[in-house]
Homo-oligomer: A and B are copies of this chain.
Amino acid sequence: MSAKGEDSDTEKLIKDTAKKVFFKEGRFNATTQEIADAAGVNRTLINYYFRSRDNLFNLVFEDAQKKEDERIHALVFSDMPLKRKIEMFLDEFFTQAKEYPYLEIYMVTQMNQGSCYEDAEAMSRLLDKMYLEIAIEMDKGNVARMRPEQFMLNMISLTSFPVSMRPLLEQSMGFSTEQFDKLLEERKEIILNMLFIN
């Protein structure tokens, strides 16, 4: 069969499985054999569909990055007040974190290895829009005065850190999975209260 442009079943199966192995299970160093086993296919099919292991890795990575970028973009350029945007961001973020606990940390380790950000222009526009809205809220007295960059850093830190460091935190702070889920649930409110004054 193989309609042009459309992934064959096995091709998609392999990609999905790789995503699962990386982002759901956190096994970033999984070998092609392990991925093939997890997908229940012959290992060489990975070469057949993706040429090389590196290729598969990059593809999965870029896919995930692109999707996240799109979601963020839609939110930032939507027609909502800043606080509401951040509220929705928190929701999305924690939801996705539950599905793919290792996605964030993977992006960072990738970045550390030299993988570089794709569309710096788009990111720059997005940040500028946020900085502007943040500045306006500061003028209104809804947000403590600081460089907007610091506000962004605060927001992303308070949100992302507990998610990416979850395994470490669960272990060192002695939480069960359920307890930590509850903790994250509570955090939405707490984070909003820390970011906004009223």
Contacts and interface: CB of A to CB of B under 8 A. Distances in A.
Interface of A: 26, 28-29, 102, 105, 107-109, 111-113, 116-117, 120, 123-124, 127, 144, 146-147, 149-150, 152-154, 156-158, 160-162, 164-165, 167-169, 171-174, 183, 186-187, 190, 193-194
A28 B161 contact: no
Given A116-B171, A171-B116, A174-B124, A154 B108 contact: no
B105 A171 contact: no
A54 to B, nearest CB: 13
A167 to B, nearest CB: 5
A150 B109 contact: no
B173 A127 contact: yes
A190 B147 CA distance: 10
A72 to B, nearest CB: 11
Nearest to A104: B165
A150 B192 CA distance: 13
A18 to B, nearest CB: 17
B150 A183 contact: yes
A135 B15 CA distance: 48
25 contacts: A26-B113, A28-B109, A29-B29, A29-B113, A102-B112, A107-B168, A108-B165, A108-B167, A108-B168, A111-B167, A111-B168, A111-B171, A112-B167, A112-B168, A146-B190, A147-B183, A152-B173, A153-B161, A154-B158, A154-B190, A157-B161, A157-B162, A160-B165, A161-B161, A194-B194
B26 A164 contact: no
